[in-house]
Amino acid sequence: MRFYRYKDDWVSYLESDFKDKLLSAIRGLSLERLQKFPPPKVEGLPFGNETRVLSRFLSGKSSQLDASAFSTLYRSLLNDELSLLYWAFRQNEYLPTESWRKILDSATIDLWIENKCLLRNGDDKLQCQFSAIAIDGVVFLTDPLKDHGQIWEPFFIVDDDDPANGSEDLRPFYHAYMGLDSLRMIEVMEADSVRGGGRYLDCGPGSGGLLLYFGRRFEQAVGIDISQRAATLSQFNAELNGFDHIKASCDNALELSGKYGRFDLITWNLPFIFMPDEDKDRYIDAFGGELGIGLCLDFIKTLPAIMTESGKACVAALAPITEKNENVLEGRLKRMLGDLKLDCHVRVAQVSVASNKKLWDFHHSFGLAKFESVYLMLKPGNGILTRKEAPFTRRLIDRVRERMYVRKFD
């Protein structure tokens, strides 16, 4: 378990008198103008998903979560003002104070430093302590994103063996950010025409990506996160975008029965990575439990108690595929859906494999060859499970990617 010094964290000041001043400053920057420009690609296969990025760019949709090998080309179209905003709020680069004065006035800069939103280094440069992402014009503040070569490790983290852990100022630390999987889930659900109206529940909202994107269409939207830090950030982002009907609370998504009522739409882009148990506390935002599907299956068991009779749920998951080509997730679902009186439609997005040698070896030690990135569309029914494969071109690309990773790690 890792802890953090509460008073040194920028999120801690989102419930103080500083909040209204930060809201005003962010709104004045119009950061939604950056949404179609992708960040540079620094890992993985060099030219994966470029067609998808180009399509989003040409249509003006968000590409800020989808890294591109051609990022420099896309960003060459930014004017000086937007380029500076991009480096400050998307890439979180240390910038000279004079550059920040082109973004904020001196009094606001001092206020942001005082409230931990800006950090000064030894070279008298300033770094923003949050990233800003826009999707369909909705702006989100989130912990600095980790896809541009510098894994963000906040200075206020304290290891669990630190003798100061008895301090009242220390609290368990969980990141609150947004990833490409949130954007993909939005696109998958949009294909099913989410109409809105009624009540919406998003579990594990993090910084509020799904919660705000779909919640704006409903009469009432509720976000539930086990991290108070994430709940605070989601609530701030709802206020930032003027969504007064969206509320975020700290609670356990597996223990909601009867507490918040029933919902017409339920989503959870839940943690689904299969990793060693000793990594659970450190990576709670990614740890998916047994084979990466334990948490997913536990949540599905709760759906009948929180879903309306005509309700729907969408759950993101990784389906383990064994070396004998057995789909472990679908096998488990077939055995439980009937008792739960749920139908499930599995939409396959793409194949997913471990991104590093350590995790690759860990998966193969359990006889797992790969995973399928899937979206489980659930509704009240008779226990029927159906499946839609990924598009043909996506499957061809996946085969090539699989072979390249086998060469890389085996």
Q: Is 218's pLDDT higher than 90?
A: yes
Q: Is 163's pLDDT higher than 90?
A: no
pLDDT, mean of residues 37-53: 76
Confidence of residue 408 (pLDDT cuts 50, 70, 90): confident
Q: Is the pTM of this model over 0.95?
A: no
Six token digits for residue 84: 């500076």
pLDDT score, position 386: 98
Q: How many CA atoms, within 13 angstroms, populate the side-chain half-sphere of residue 107?
A: 3
Q: Which of 76-80, 169-173, 334-338, 380-384 has the lowest mean pLDDT?
A: 169-173
pLDDT score, position 165: 55
| C-beta separation of 288 from 301 below 8 A | no
Give the model confidence (pLDDT) of 223-258 as tens digits: 999 999 999 999 999 999 999 999 999 999 999 988
Q: Is 150's pLDDT higher than 60?
A: no
Six token digits for residue 3: 């802890």
Q: 52 Cβ partners below 8 Å, 6+ apart? A: 66
Which H or E run contains 214? Answer: helix 209-215
pLDDT, mean of residues 262-274: 90
Give the model confidence (pLDDT) of 301-312 as tens digits: 999 999 999 999
pLDDT score, position 409: 85
Q: CB neighbours (10 Å) of residue 407?
A: 8
What percentage of the chain has pLDDT greater than the value 90?
A: 68
Q: Is 171's pLDDT higher than 90?
A: no
pLDDT, mean of residues 314-330: 95
pLDDT score, position 44: 54
Q: Is 146's pLDDT higher than 90?
A: no
Q: Is 28's pLDDT higher than 80?
A: yes
The DSSP annotation for 5-45 comes to EGGG-GGGGGGSTHHHHHHHHHHHHTGGGGTTPPPBP-SS-
pLDDT score, position 156: 86
Q: Which of 207-211, 288-292, 400-404 has the lowest mean pLDDT?
A: 288-292
| Closest by CA position to 284, among listed 296, 293, 273 | 273
Q: Is 138's pLDDT higher than 70?
A: yes
Q: Which of 112-121, 144-153, 187-196, 201-210 has the lowest mean pLDDT?
A: 144-153
> In angstroms, rounded to a whole number, what is the distance separating the alpha carbons of residues 179 and 218?
23
pLDDT score, position 43: 63
Q: What is the dihedral of CA 338, 340, 341, 347, to 10 degrees?
A: -80
pLDDT score, position 39: 92
pLDDT score, position 355: 78
Q: Is 295's pLDDT higher than 60?
A: yes
Q: Is 46's pLDDT higher than 60?
A: no
Do the bridges between strand 307-322 and strand 199-203 make them parallel or antiparallel, or are there none, so unpaired?
A: unpaired
Q: Is 14's pLDDT higher than 60?
A: yes
pLDDT score, position 277: 78
Q: Is 55's pLDDT higher than 80?
A: yes
pLDDT score, position 29: 98
Sketch out the chain's domains with CATH numbers.
Answer: 3-137 (no CATH), 180-409 (3.40.50.150)
Give the model confidence (pLDDT) of 69-87 as tens digits: 999 999 999 999 999 999 9
Q: How many CA atoms, within 13 angstroms, populate the side-chain half-sphere of residue 16?
A: 14
Question: Who has greater pLDDT, 40 or 29?
Answer: 29
| Closest by CA position to 268, among listed 253, 283, 290 | 253
